[in-house]
Amino acid sequence: MGLGGYLAAKSEADHYTRELKREQDEIISVPDTEAAEVAEILAQYGIEPNEYAPVVNALRRRPQAWLDFMMKFELGLEKPDPRRALQSAFTIGISYIIGGLVPLLPYMFIPVAMKAMFASVIITLIALLIFGYAKGYFTGSKPIKSALQTALIGAIASAAAYGMAKVIQG
């Protein structure tokens, strides 16, 4: 999963670099077309031609500012942090390890499988409630509702996985 996070962030950075190069080339090869695109973008914000013409001309005199404007307002792209790919890989990898340990811990300490499974279900539900509550609290949602949703979705996913394992097992 960490590798997937790394590759996703790396792909995003590669996409940004390709689009940056394409915009640079367009500003050089078809500046009038690019200037018309700037005017069109500004017009979408209700700015009149007599108001946006000086902005378009100012951007034409500042190629880097023009390029930054096109990347942000035409393509909706922000320059990605170069460290993001490694940070993403590390964060996702550690999260999966910790998240995976929660339901497995009871099996490490309780020798009877059925008792360990019962403990695992309880501990996992408590962890999901805590995580859901924290998610709701930090995102400005209703924490109790977020906790219950997270626990319910986790319970359904766990039940589905358990059911599939039972079917495959025979």
Residue 79 lies in a domain: no
Average pLDDT for residues 156-163, to the nearest whole number? Answer: 90
Report the alpha-carbon distance of residue 24 to residue 68 in Å, rounded. Answer: 10
**pLDDT computed for residue 13 by the predictor:** 84
The domain boundary, picked from 22, 47, 74, lies at: 74
Average pLDDT over the chain reads 89
129 plus 164 within the same structural domain: yes
Please state the separation of Cα 148 from the chain's center in Å.
23
50 plus 94 within the same structural domain: no
The domain boundary, picked from 74, 102, 134, lies at: 74
- Dihedral sign, CA of 120, 125, 130, 135? positive
- Sequence-separated (6 or more) residues with CB below 8 Å from residue 109: 116
Tell me the whole-structure pTM to 2 decimals. Answer: 0.57
Angle between helices 31-44 and 49-61 (to 10 degrees): 140
- As for how many domains the chain has, the answer is 2
**pLDDT computed for residue 147 by the predictor:** 96
Report the alpha-carbon distance of residue 95 to residue 167 in Å, rounded. Answer: 29
The domain boundary, picked from 25, 56, 74, lies at: 74
**pLDDT computed for residue 96 by the predictor:** 86
DSSP conformation class of 81? P
How many residues in total does the chain contain?
170
88 plus 159 within the same structural domain: yes
33 plus 93 within the same structural domain: no
**pLDDT computed for residue 89 by the predictor:** 84
- Sequence-separated (6 or more) residues with CB below 8 Å from residue 63: 27
Q: Which range marks the domain in which residue 148 is found?
A: 84-169
Asked if pLDDT for residue 18 goes beyond 90, the answer is: yes
90 plus 156 within the same structural domain: yes
Instruction: Give the pair of three-digit tokens for residue 152.
Output: 């319910």
89 plus 55 within the same structural domain: no
Average pLDDT for residues 112-129, to the nearest whole number? Answer: 94
24 plus 99 within the same structural domain: no
**Angle ∠(3,87,8) on CA atoms, nearest 5:** 45
**C-alpha separations of 84 from 17, 20, 33, 119, 160 in Å:** 15, 18, 34, 37, 34
**pLDDT computed for residue 48 by the predictor:** 87
**pLDDT computed for residue 81 by the predictor:** 80
**pLDDT computed for residue 87 by the predictor:** 84
Average pLDDT for residues 58-81, to the nearest whole number? Answer: 88
89 plus 50 within the same structural domain: no
**pLDDT computed for residue 20 by the predictor:** 92
- Dihedral sign, CA of 106, 112, 113, 117? negative
